[in-house]
DNA sequence: CTATGTGAATTTATTCACAGCA
DNA sequence: TGCTGTGAATAAATTCACATAG
C-alpha cells in the first residue's frame, strides 16, 4: 500500500476495534471477519477493512483476521505495546473512579502516581497508590512518567497543566470542563461530559 | 436560508459555543465576534459562522453577536431551554462525581433521581438526592424523567439500559465501558474514557 | 466459494473568498 | 469600514463494487 496520512477518524476507531477484539478473544474465538467484528461494535465491515488497509494487510482473504495477531498489531500502532506509566492529578470522586478503573490496565496503562493538594488526602492510599502533594509534580520527569490525567476543579486546571508540562509530560487526558493551553508538542484530549450530555436532548424524540 | 439537514459535527460544536459564550458573558462582555469566540474555544471563525448559518442570522454585520441573545438561541436549538430532569443509575465514585457536577445545572439539567442496588447506599443522600433501589426504576415514567445517566459496572450495563428503556427513557448518557443495545427511538451517547486515553500515545512525540 | 484489500464514486465537512448589511 | 452570512471550492471520510488471494 502506498503512503497516505492515517485519518484521525481511523485512529479514533482503533481502540474500539481493540475492545471488540479483546471481547471476542474472551469468548474463545480465534479468527474473526470484518462482518462479525462490525456486528459487535456497530461499525460497518467495509469501514473496518478500509481502516486496516492504511496499515497493510492484517487479514487472510477468505478466512478473516487472526485475533491475537491483530490485537498485537493494533497495540503496536497505538503505541500500547509497552506499559505506559501515567500520573493522576486530583483525587476526588472522579479521580478515584479513574484510579479504580480496571480497564486501563488492559490497554497497557499503569497509573502509578496520584497527586492532590488536600492535606486530608496526602499520604493516603487509593488503589495501592499513595497520594502525593501536588507540589511534587516536578518529580515525574525522573520517574519516567510522561502521561498525565487531570481531574481537578476547573479553576485549578490551567496551573495543573502548566506544572505537568514543566515536568516533561507529553500527553494529557483532561477531565476538567474547560479549555487549557499547552505547547504544540503536548497532546491534550479533553473529556467534557457536559458537552456530551448537552447534545443528547437535540436527538431525543420530542415529548 | 433554504432547508438543509444540520451536520452532526455542527450539533457537536453547539455546546462548545455555549460554553464559550457563557464564559465571555461572565467576563462582562455583551457582544462578541466569531473571531473572539473562536479564540477562546479554539475553533476557526468561519467554522463558527458557517455553523450558525444553518439556523439563520444570529449576528449583526459589522458588530458581531449579542451574547445573551445567542445563548438563548443555542439553548433553544439544543432543547436546553427547559429544565431537563435526569436520573442517575450507579452511585459509585463516578456516579457521585456526576451528581456533584455543578456544570450540569448551568446547561439546564436537573439530576433529580439516583439509583443503586447496594443496600448500603439505598436511602442515603448524595448531593441532596436520596438514593433509591434500582428495582424502582419503573417509576421514572410517571415522574416525567426521560433522560438517564448510567455509571454502573460493565456487567450490569445492558440490564440497566433495558430497565431504563422500559421505563420510557428517551436518551442515555452511558459511562459503562461497553456496547449497549437499544431500540432505534432511544438515543445513546457513550463516554468510554479508556478509548480516549488509548489514542493519546499515538499522538505523543516518541520517547 | 469466502472474505479481504483497495481504487473509484459518493457523501459529508471544512475552508475560502467575497457580497451585503449595519 | 468591520464583521456577518453564504455559495463555491477544497479536503476528508465513507461507501461501493469488485478484483484478488486463500
- Evaluate whether B70 touches B25 at the Cβ level (below 8 Å): no
Q: A43 and chain B: CB distance < 8 Å anywhere?
A: no
Give the closest residue to C12 (Cα–C1′): B7
How do residues B152-204 score in pLDDT, each as one tens digit? 999 999 999 999 999 999 999 999 999 899 999 999 999 999 999 999 999 99
C-alpha cell of residue B93 = 465514585
Contact A97 B93 (CB under 8 A): yes
How do residues A166-197 score in pLDDT, each as one tens digit? 999 999 999 999 989 999 999 999 999 999 99
Quote the CA–CA distance of B123 and A174 in Å, as a whole number. 33
Quote the CA–CA distance of B98 and B34 in Å, as a whole number. 32
Q: What is the mean pLDDT of residues A81-108?
A: 97
How do residues B110-119 score in pLDDT, each as one tens digit? 999 999 999 9
Q: B183 and chain A: CB distance < 8 Å anywhere?
A: no
Residue A187, strand partner residues: A171
Residue B5: pLDDT band with limits 50, 70, 90:
confident
- Evaluate whether A151 touches A95 at the Cβ level (below 8 Å): yes
- Evaluate whether B137 touches B167 at the Cβ level (below 8 Å): yes
Quote the CA–CA distance of B85 and B100 in Å, as a whole number. 15
- Evaluate whether A49 touches A111 at the Cβ level (below 8 Å): no
* Nearest nucleotide over every DNA/RNA strand to the A2 CA, judged by C1': C6
Residues 4-33 of A with CB under 8 A from B: 11-12, 14-16, 18-19
Residue B2: pLDDT band with limits 50, 70, 90:
very low
Q: What is the mean pLDDT of residues A34-56?
A: 96
Residue A24: pLDDT band with limits 50, 70, 90:
very high
Quote the CA–CA distance of B89 and B206 in Å, as a whole number. 40
**Helical (H) or strand (E) element with A32:** strand A31-32
Instruction: Kindly calculate the radius of gyration of chain A based on its CA atoms and give it in whole angstroms.
Output: 20
Residue A78, strand partner residues: none
Mean pLDDT, chain A, rounded, equals 95
Residue B4: pLDDT band with limits 50, 70, 90:
low
- Count of alpha carbons within 13 Å of B163, Cβ hemisphere only? 22
pLDDT greater than 60 at residue A141:
yes
B contacts of A198 (beta carbons < 8 Å):
14-15, 18, 78, 80, 107
How do residues B57-103 score in pLDDT, each as one tens digit? 899 999 999 999 999 999 999 999 999 999 999 999 999 999 999 99
- Evaluate whether B87 touches B114 at the Cβ level (below 8 Å): yes
Nearest beta carbon to residue B96 from set A93, A195, A198: A93
| 8-state DSSP, A29 | -
- Count of alpha carbons within 13 Å of A155, Cβ hemisphere only? 0
B contacts of A27 (beta carbons < 8 Å):
none
**Distance (Å) from CA A41 to C1' D7?**
38
Instruction: Kindly identify which residue of chain B lies nearest to residue A195, measuring between CA atoms.
Output: B15
Count CB-CB contacts under 10 A for residue B182. 17
pLDDT of residue A207: 63
**Helical (H) or strand (E) element with A125:** strand A125-126
Hunting for cell 449583526 — which residue is that?
A: B60
The closest of B86, B81, B83, B82 to B99, measured between CA atoms, is B86
Contact B197 A96 (CB under 8 A): no
Residues 51-110 of B with CB under 8 A from A: 77-80, 84, 86, 92-94, 96-98, 100-101, 103-104, 106-107, 109
What is the biggest distance separating any 2 CA atoms in chain A, rounded to whole angstroms?
61
pLDDT of residue B57: 86
**Distance (Å) from CA A55 to C1' C21?**
51
Rounded to two decimals, the pTM is 0.94
Separation in Å, CA A60 to CA A75, B170, B189: 19, 42, 34
Amino acid at each position: 500500500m502506498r503512503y497516505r496520512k492515517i485519518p484521525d477518524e481511523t485512529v479514533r476507531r482503533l481502540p474500539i476495534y481493540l475492545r471488540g477484539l479483546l471481547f471476542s478473544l474472551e469468548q474463545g474465538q480465534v479468527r474473526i471477519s470484518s462482518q462479525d467484528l462490525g456486528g459487535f461494535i456497530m461499525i460497518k465491515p467495509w469501514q473496518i477493512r478500509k481502516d486496516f488497509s492504511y496499515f497493510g494487510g492484517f487479514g487472510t482473504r477468505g478466512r478473516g483476521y487472526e485475533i491475537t495477531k491483530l490485537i498485537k498489531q493494533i497495540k503496536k500502532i497505538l503505541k500500547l505495546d509497552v506499559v505506559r506509566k501515567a500520573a493522576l492529578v486530583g483525587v476526588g470522586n472522579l479521580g478515584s473512579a479513574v484510579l479504580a478503573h480496571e480497564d486501563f490496565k488492559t490497554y497497557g496503562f499503569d497509573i502509578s502516581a496520584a497527586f492532590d493538594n488536600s492535606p486530608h488526602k496526602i499520604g493516603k492510599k487509593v488503589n495501592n497508590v499513595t497520594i502525593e502533594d501536588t507540589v511534587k509534580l516536578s518529580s515525574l520527569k525522573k520517574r519516567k512518567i510522561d502521561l498525565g490525567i487531570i481531574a481537578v476543579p476547573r479553576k485549578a486546571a490551567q496551573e495543573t497543566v502548566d506544572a505537568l508540562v514543566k515536568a516533561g509530560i507529553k500527553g494529557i487526558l483532561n477531565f476538567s470542563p474547560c479549555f487549557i493551553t499547552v505547547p504544540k508538542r503536548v497532546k491534550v484530549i479533553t473529556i467534557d461530559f457536559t458537552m456530551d450530555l448537552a447534545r443528547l436532548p437535540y436527538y431525543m424524540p420530542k415529548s
